[in-house]
Amino acid sequence: MSDSINIALDAMGGDNAPEEIIKGAVSALETSPEIKLFLCGREDDIRAELSKYSYDVNRIEIVHATEIIGMDEPPVMAVRNKKDSSLVKCMYLVKEGKCDALVTAGSTGAFLVGGQIIVGRIKGVERPPLAPFIPTATGRALLLDCGANVDARPTQLVQFAKIGSAYVKKVCGINNPRVGIVNIGAEEEKGNALVKETFPLLKATPEINFIGSVEARDIPYGAADVVVCEAFVGNVILKMYEGVGTVLLKSIKDAFMSSGRSKIGALLAKPALKKTLKQYDTDQYGGAPLLGCNGLLVKTHGSSKAVSINNSILQCKTFIENNINDDIREMFSVSMDI
């Protein structure tokens, strides 16, 4: 294998495939000369899109795949039966070591199943968490698990905390990231059975900087760098972020458009507002990685446009250049020795 960073890209996954996927791919090649991309999907469709751009042909390889896994297909069946799908092909490229990472905007369910059963977990990792960044008033926070493993056990939440710390340390350059557990009150005795059991375990984990409970209200303020929770709760947090933000911004936009006076006001305030709201634009962070697998697997939003595909590819580059999986491997090989 060459010195390039090889990334598999599901050219057929998501609402805007293959157009936006290919557009994002070409743009990532332009900014990062060390990247080589493996585009998985229908060769004709991929070539047709690629013909719109000029790029270094040596840095793109097309891996033909006849099938596509739909967003609503039962994930386990889809991964098992559609061996010739673009997503499954991406998974095998990582499994076989031909690629270091993969990016898909396709089915989340199939992504999670494929990650576990095709690519596989790092030895010692019980359940790989899905770990997106969420924007905060002061920067960003890593939220994990946000949907991979419902009904997790306390020891698994402790693993999430350790994996998340290692990731944030390297990706955000925060030396001693603050780890908080999502709770319904700030006191140690508060919470449901899972949180009450997990709290003392986190306190007794020397590798992390555990700051205690974090109330959901304080997450958007930036109360912690690593926000640990069970997948159902994490998913609710992520979706509430999305839902409340979108509804509120839509209402504000409607208000701006409601009269001549407010329209002029909007026009004047637009540049300042645009700058502020960019801070809350999750596209800039790339997708959600499934951490703790043998390779980096990144899931971007189904509605991803080129910019978030581009950023997800750059996210893989950062991950690989920083050898984050080596840190995770070392972390769990040590715990295995005890």
Query: Interface with its own copies by CB under 8 A: which residues?
Result: 72, 136-137, 147, 150-151, 182, 184, 187, 191-193, 195, 215-221, 231-233, 235-252, 254-256, 258-259, 261-262, 264-273, 275-277, 279-280
Nearer Cβ to its own copies (48/257): 257
Nearer Cβ to its own copies (210/241): 241
- Nearest CA to 4 out of 105, 96, 101 is that of 101
Nearer Cβ to its own copies (143/166): 143
- The CA distance from 164 to 297, in Å, is 15
Strands, E assignment, 205-246: 209-215, 226-228
Nearer Cβ to its own copies (53/256): 256
- The CA distance from 155 to 261, in Å, is 57
Nearer Cβ to its own copies (134/298): 134
CB of 96 to its own copies, least distance (A): 31
- Maximum C-alpha span of the chain: 70
DSSP class of 121: B
HSE-CB for 272 with a 13 A CA cutoff: 5
Helix or strand or coil: residue 37?
strand
CB of 238 to its own copies, least distance (A): 8
CB of 207 to its own copies, least distance (A): 27
Nearer Cβ to its own copies (48/249): 249
Phi, psi of 291 (to 5 degrees): -85, 145
- The CA distance from 211 to 181, in Å, is 8
Q: What is the DSSP secondary-structure string of 233-288?
A: HHHHHHHHHHHHHHHHHHHHHHHHTTSHHHHHHHHHHHHHHHHHHHTT-GGGG--E
Helix (H) or strand (E) holding 288: strand 288-290
- The CA distance from 13 to 171, in Å, is 26
Task: Compute CA 72 distance to the chain's CA centroid, rounded to the nearest angstrom.
Answer: 20
Handedness of CA 62, 63, 67, 68 (dihedral sign): negative
Write out the two tokens for 64. Answer: 């033909």
CB of 53 to its own copies, least distance (A): 34
Nearer Cβ to its own copies (275/338): 275
Nearer Cβ to its own copies (52/270): 270
CA angle (233, 237, 239) in 5-degree steps: 115
Residue for token pair 């997106």: 132
